[in-house]
Structure 1
Amino acid sequence: MSWQIHPRYPLVVAANRDEFYARPTQAAHFWDEHPEILAGRDMEYGGSWLGVSRRGRFAAVTNLRNIVSDGEQSRGQLVRDFLLSDAPPQHFFDHLEQSKTHYRPFNFIASDGEQLLRTDNTTPGWQQLDPGYHVLGNLPQHHPYPKAEKGLRDFAAVEEHHHDHRALLAFLGDDTITDPNGDDLQQAISCRFVRSPDYGTRCSTIVQRSVEGRMEVWEQNYRNGRAEQPPQYFLID
């Protein structure tokens, strides 16, 4: 993602959701009981991995692989709760400090358009991110991660030369292996676009927040690695 770099779009997000193909999911939509939320939905626990709100808020969460935790709450609730909240991000994150070990391992990032904050539940505290390019992956923030490092480089190149949702969706479709020394599954999940027999990229999402606060969202859904239909487009003025 880029934060306060582009003169027209201070927040630009490009994200893949990787999940088991059998896990029941709804594509991005305005939720019936919370019509201010635009997000996909995990039908197992009711939360989301990424979403925006009509108030200009954005949130996304990932799991953390190979992290032992006693927490049982669904991390997807964090996205829902932030999008529903009116609290400034720093207040939301301060409150989360008291309970974040109750959740399954996560990286979490959120913005109200004025600030972009990040936290996880492997270390105490949270960060307010400076202008620049940032990445949220499935390992702790400062863990060496070739997939994330390549993603940052490639995203910056797209943003500098092609700022366009089609170019960003193509960027998300990259299937270059960044860990050639692992087993078949490790090689598969080292790709930006993941394909394996039972697990892989389920959707690609682009979010752009303009300087006026307008939110544009594109989502491309996949079934077993194949696009189901043209990308959905949503506009929140």
Structure 2
Amino acid sequence: MCLILLHWQPLAERRLIVAANRDEFLQRPTDAAHFWKDQPHILAGRDREFGGSWLGVSLNGRFAAVTNLRDTDDVGELSRGNLVQDFLNSHIGAAEFVENLEENKGDYRPFNLIVSDLKQLAYSNNAEPGWRQLDEGIHVLGNIRLSNSNPKVRKGAADFSESLADPADHEGLFDLLRDSEPALDSKEPLERALSCRFVNAPSYGTRSSSVLLWNRDGSGDFWEREYSAQFEVVTTRHFALPPSSPP
């Protein structure tokens, strides 16, 4: 049950703030965030099973993130992590990318996708036709369609909004992501665990947290905090992003 909190300000110096938890099976092989040797302009974690990513940025001023879309029929067989990689490698605008995706998005496993080129923030999924250009403000992407809501999404939006009352800092956002209070009062232990922002369940849970503070010129800071199989902090990595190179 991944969760991505975004604050988009297209006219501000700080264009985008992202705080995200990646939840996954503990046995799934994963590389932590790094600049990829075969594509050195990409900064992202990497899924060793299929080679794509769940969230990342590029040195040409691009951001992309994807989540699994639950409660929908399986669609195609292509890895949704390829969409992150493909956008970070592209040179077209965010809106054009998701528009071009329309004709073949059914080829991918169920996804929520959000992309930005510093000028636009765009969203698509493959459970319904069409895509959206997102307005200024807070957006929360979970494992449901962006147009839908649930207690976890609502709690995340409220807490994120409150945290932005003060200037955003990465430690405060990491604390926000570490919240293990269930958003759903359920008698089912797994449902309660999955409704937490920080998921701790048998063989499944929050593997890493990411924070991005991204400026108008592409400069900024990217942090990733990695967790052990016991959900304790293993390490925190920081990457300073230079101003974007021209596409």
Q: Relative to 1, partners in 2 of residues 1:44 and 1:2: Cα closer, same or farther, differing over 3 Å?
A: same
For residue 36 of structure 1, the aligned residue among 27, 30, 41 is 41
Match runs of 1:128-167 below 5 Å:
128-167=133-172
Q: Structure 1 residue 7: deviation in Å?
A: 4.2
Residue of 204, 227, 233 corresponding to 1:227: 233
Q: Runs of 4+ in structure 1 displaced over 6 angstroms?
A: none
**TM, length-normalised to structure 1:** 0.96
How much has 1:213 moved relative to structure 2? 2.0
User: Which sections of structure 2, spanning at least 5 residues, go unmatched?
Assistant: 1-5, 243-247
SS at match of 1:207: strand
Query: Out of 68, 71, 74, which is 2:73 matched to?
Result: 68
- Give the Cα–Cα distance (whole angstroms) in 1 for the partners of residues 148 and 187 of structure 2: 17
Decide whether the 8 Å contact of 1:9 with 1:208 is kept in 2: yes
**Greater fraction strand:** 2
- Quote the Cα distance in structure 1 between the aligned partners of 2:11 and 2:161: 11
Return 5+ residue gaps in structure 1 as ranges: none
User: Is 1:191–2:193 an aligned residue pair?
Assistant: no
Which residues of 2 match residues 77-226 of structure 1 at below 5 A? 77-224=82-229, 225-226=231-232
2:148 partner amino acid:
H
State the SS of the aligned residue for 2:196.
coil
Match of 1:49 among 51, 54, 68: 54
Alpha-carbon offset, residue 215 of structure 1:
3.0
SS at match of 1:99: helix
AA matched with 1:161: D
Letter of the 1:190 partner, please give it.
S
Letter in 1 for 2:24: E
CA deviations over 1:119-161 (Å, ceiling 9, x no partner): 1001111100000000110012222311011101111111112
Using the TM superposition, give the Cα deviation of residue 212 of structure 1 relative to its aligned residue in structure 2, in angstroms. 2.8
In 2, distance between residues paired with 1:20 and 1:146? 23
Q: Deviation digits for residues 46-92 of structure 1, max 9, x if unmatched? A: 00000000011000000011211231110000000000000111221
Q: Which residue of 1 aligns with 2:15?
A: 10
Asked whether the equivalents of residues 49 and 60 of structure 1 are also in contact (C-alpha less than 8 Å), the reply is yes
Describe the SS at the equivalent of 1:98: helix
Q: Deviations over 1:135-191 (max 9, x none)?
A: 110012222311011101111111112411100000000011011225111111100
- In 1, distance between residues paired with 2:149 and 2:85? 30
Note if contact 2:46-2:54 (Cα within 8 Å) is conserved in structure 1.
yes
Aligned-residue CA RMSD (Å): 1.3
SS in 2 for 1:142: coil
- The alignment partner of 1:161 has SS state of coil
Deviations 1:17-63 (A, max 9, x none): 00000000000000010000000000000000000000110000000
> Number of residue pairs matched?
236
Residue 199 and residue 11 in structure 1: after superposition, are their counterparts in 2 closer, same or farther (change >3 A)? same
- Alpha-carbon contact 1:5-1:132 (below 8 Å) kept: no
Following the alignment from structure 1 to structure 2, what is the Cα–Cα distance between the partners of residues 212 and 79? 21
